Structure 1
Amino acid sequence: MYLPKLEQFHKYKETDEGVFGVFETPEAILSAAEKTKQKDYEGFDCLLPYPVHGIDEVMGTPRSGLPWITFFAGLFGCVIGTSFQYLTHAYDWPMNIAGKSLNAWFAYVPIIFEITVFCAGIYTVAALAYLCAIPKASRRILHKDFTSHRFGLWIPKSAKGYNESEVVSFIKSLGGAEVTVVKPENK
């Protein structure tokens, strides 16, 4: 089971330095990410306006631990839903209606299902918000088109083997339409 370290989700700070390139198509960013991984830059990221199938495999990103959080939260909801109804029906207010069993588990199913889904959903959203550090106080927007129709490849200064001029020429060789060097903002 892989659970990412919290530091991985807090990669970008206002003082980040690095280089990013802008790409026009999902195929171009996939190819660029693959070549960047082969070049052995660590800590690079792809900035996408929508999910691109296969980008995680190409980047070498390990599988998230979020499905496990969802599973165990759902299991917790199932246990709570079952035990609450059983204890209420069998111990707190036991009523013998028409000779039926006090443990009428089949009547519990709708509530068990609802509490399972509710707990899984709430805990998943809460875990995602925590792991992604949402909301962030401030975040620099590298390029306005990354939220609508263009794709970005970000190589931070902290990457192994980083040399600004080499990274700029590397991203240009990948077909980056715009290549920008990011320096920290003065405050």
Structure 2
Amino acid sequence: MYLPKLEQFHKYKEMDEGVLGIFDTPEAIMHAAEKTKEKEYTGFDCILPYPVHGIDEAMGTPRSGLPWVTFFAGIFGCTIGISFQYLTHAHDWPLNISGKALNAWFAYVPIIFELTVFAAGIYTVAALCFLSGIPKATRRILHPDLTSHKFGLWIPKSAKGYNESDVVSFVKSLGGSEVTVVKPENQK
């Protein structure tokens, strides 16, 4: 079972300095991600305008622990639904109407289902916000086309084995249509 540590998530302060390569197609960014992983750069990121199937595997990103949060939150909601209804019907207000059993579990199913889905949804959103650090300061816009139709490969200065000239030539060799060295905003 893999549960991510908070330190493994990208901190946007890394966006202060590094190399950004722009790619035109999903296939190109997939190839670039695979080659960057093979080159063993750490902390690199792919900035995509829409989800690209297989990019996590190409980048070597481990599977998220968020499904486990959803699973256990669902079990918690289910337990609360069963417990609340049973205690209410069998202990707090034990009314015997028409000989019906005090523990009529089949009547509990709609509430159990709703509480299971509600708890799983709420806790998943809360965990996602916590793990991704939402809300946070606005992320710096590295290239305006990354939000509509271009793909970016970001290699931060903090990456293992980072040498600016080597990284620039590496990204160019991958087929980056535009390679930019990004400096902190106050050093432009």
Same structural fold, with TM-score higher than 0.5 when normalized by the shorter chain = yes
1:36 alignment partner AA: T
Change in Cα spacing, 1:131 to 1:79, as seen in structure 2 (3 Å) is same
Q: Which runs of 5+ in 1 are unaligned?
A: none
Deviation at 1:15, TM superposition (A): 6.4
Match of residue 38 from structure 2 = 38
- TM-score using structure 2 length: 0.96
1:15-62 CA-to-partner distances (Å, cap 9, x unmatched) read 621001011111000000011111111111111111111111111111
2:27 alignment partner AA: E
1:4 alignment partner AA: P
Counterpart secondary structure, 2:125 = helix
Match of residue 51 from structure 1 = 51
Cα distance between partner residues in 1 of 2:127 and 2:39: 33
1:1-187 maps to which residues of 2 (within 5 A)? 1-13=1-13, 16-186=16-186
Cα distance between partner residues in 1 of 2:156 and 2:125: 28
Counterpart secondary structure, 2:8 = helix
Q: How many residues align?
A: 187
Cα distance between partner residues in 2 of 1:53 and 1:137: 28
Is 1:66–1:127's contact at 8 Å kept on the other side of the alignment?
yes
Q: Which moved more, 1:15-24 or 1:61-70?
A: 15-24
Q: Which runs of 5+ in 2 are unaligned?
A: none
CA RMSD of aligned residues (A): 1.3
- TM-score using structure 1 length: 0.96
Cα distance between partner residues in 2 of 1:14 and 1:172: 21
Is 1:14–1:185's contact at 8 Å kept on the other side of the alignment?
no
Misfit runs of 4+, over 3 Å: none
Cα distance between partner residues in 2 of 1:10 and 1:59: 13
Cα distance between partner residues in 2 of 1:145 and 1:3: 34
Is 2:44–2:159's contact at 8 Å kept on the other side of the alignment?
yes
